[in-house]
Structure 1
């Protein structure tokens, strides 16, 4: 049976977003190790400046003209909200279980359908709302009150989640005219310039071990961003957004293997709801529900 172009694009978008989430979870491991001795401002700066350095060969090969844009204000907005979310997310990684930190940031799909509807006029289906609701239940099950759901770190994490959702939707809007490489380049460039300001006051010599974690996190983050940008170019943000939840499962696996962090029954139930939310995004299920 032939799969139509639209369904094929959604499948590919889901695969790309899953790869992005996997790389992002490994980035979380690097940031956790770096945060033992390096401050949050420096971690955020390196994540962005490494991205700028990655693009230097691309600038030479494609030429400066490839990176010219008429959407500088949108790139700037995306960089500001994304950078602010990044500060909150990296802070959560340093102070919470890795899976719980991912929960706060990757709960952004809860907000994506609403933001995409408000700003991009994308259609919000009942299935998408159900998927977002199931994802929220999963988030609450994983990040329980006794695990810090209602404290300062949680407030920072949830704020980062909302800002990340706004950044994701902005990426979706940018992909109508901008190639993914250009989107990631401007995010890194503007992010590096802004994050250099607070980092300047904390600068010091760094050990080889610290640099390896900082540079590694930057490389993984930017490759992940490229995968994510391609995914949002192929499919609506509201439809594939819940796939981001799989990063929580990846992070939980790393947390168990590296730090002995074990999920309890409530967390496992939460992961189940998260997986169910991902399944609801399946184009094949969407097609069945709409026929």
Structure 2
């Protein structure tokens, strides 16, 4: 059954909201136990949750092409997520998420370069408006006296956004040939295999009291990964990329409620521009993506 790009956008928005909730949990875990350890054990938790589902569905083993994509995106996404949560410990959630907004903008052009997608005028215009919002937030942050730790955190999040842009493009390719459960599971497997060798030096076996938080983060993150993989199977990357901007509203809210982080007027103004950019980017009719098992 065919569904419109607007429906895919709505599904992706739900996925981003879930990811924002996971970000708050992961920030708390990273503060307490370190970003490396938090990401490693969340990935293990995701395997525990998704592995039985994958086996019970008797899904065929991924093809060589799919395994290559899983490996490539796992490396990109894994490196991105470790850098992101390391940086998020040092900056506010709103600031950290604002810096990641560079990723969808980069993804628009990567989609044209590697996927052969035509960049629509509405998508470009919406992204330009949203980028003004990011600049407004940056101007507000520049007025504060940032410590070295905050600067390093910002640099780490910036680097994470570049890697994440690449992972968004690979997600689009994955979603065309692989089931969403498969995409989420194998991304977690690759990330776990990447981080396990360093565990004796950078991590430790979590206490039993921590495991409910690990599994909770893994559950929310896995649901988000499945929703995004499904959405990217329905619509072009340039249509869905601006949905990342909605994470700012959730980050500002959760940062305030959970970590008592304050949001400046500059940040609020930037958020309004970002939301406007999202609305502009999805205006107009766009032909649905070819239907696959992942996006049916």
The TM-score, its normalising length taken from structure 2, stands at 0.88
Partner in structure 1 of residue 60 of structure 2: 66
Cα pair 2:9 2:239 within 8 Å, conserved: no
Partner in structure 2 of residue 83 of structure 1: 78
Deviations, residues 55-86 of structure 1 (Å, cap 9, x unaligned): 222233122x5232232222111111111100
Equivalent-residue separation in structure 2 for 1:211 and 1:145 (angstroms): 39
1:216 Cα deviation after fit = 1.9
Partner in structure 1 of residue 293 of structure 2: none
1:93 Cα deviation after fit = 1.9
1:161 Cα deviation after fit = 0.6
Cα pair 1:67 1:182 within 8 Å, conserved: no
1:167 Cα deviation after fit = 0.3
Counting matched residue pairs gives 280
1:207 Cα deviation after fit = 3.4
Cα pair 1:113 1:238 within 8 Å, conserved: yes
Deviations, residues 83-123 of structure 1 (Å, cap 9, x unaligned): 11001111122111111112222431111110000000101
Structural mapping, 1:162-241, within 5 Å: 162-241=162-241
Partner in structure 1 of residue 290 of structure 2: none
Equivalent-residue separation in structure 2 for 1:60 and 1:92 (angstroms): 36
Moved over 4 A (4+): 146-150
The TM-score, its normalising length taken from structure 1, stands at 0.89
Structural mapping, 1:1-291, within 5 Å: 5=2, 8-63=3-58, 65-71=59-65, 72-143=67-138, 144-146=141-143, 151-282=151-282, 285-287=283-285
Unaligned runs of 5+ in 2: 287-296
Equivalent-residue separation in structure 1 for 2:74 and 2:88 (angstroms): 20
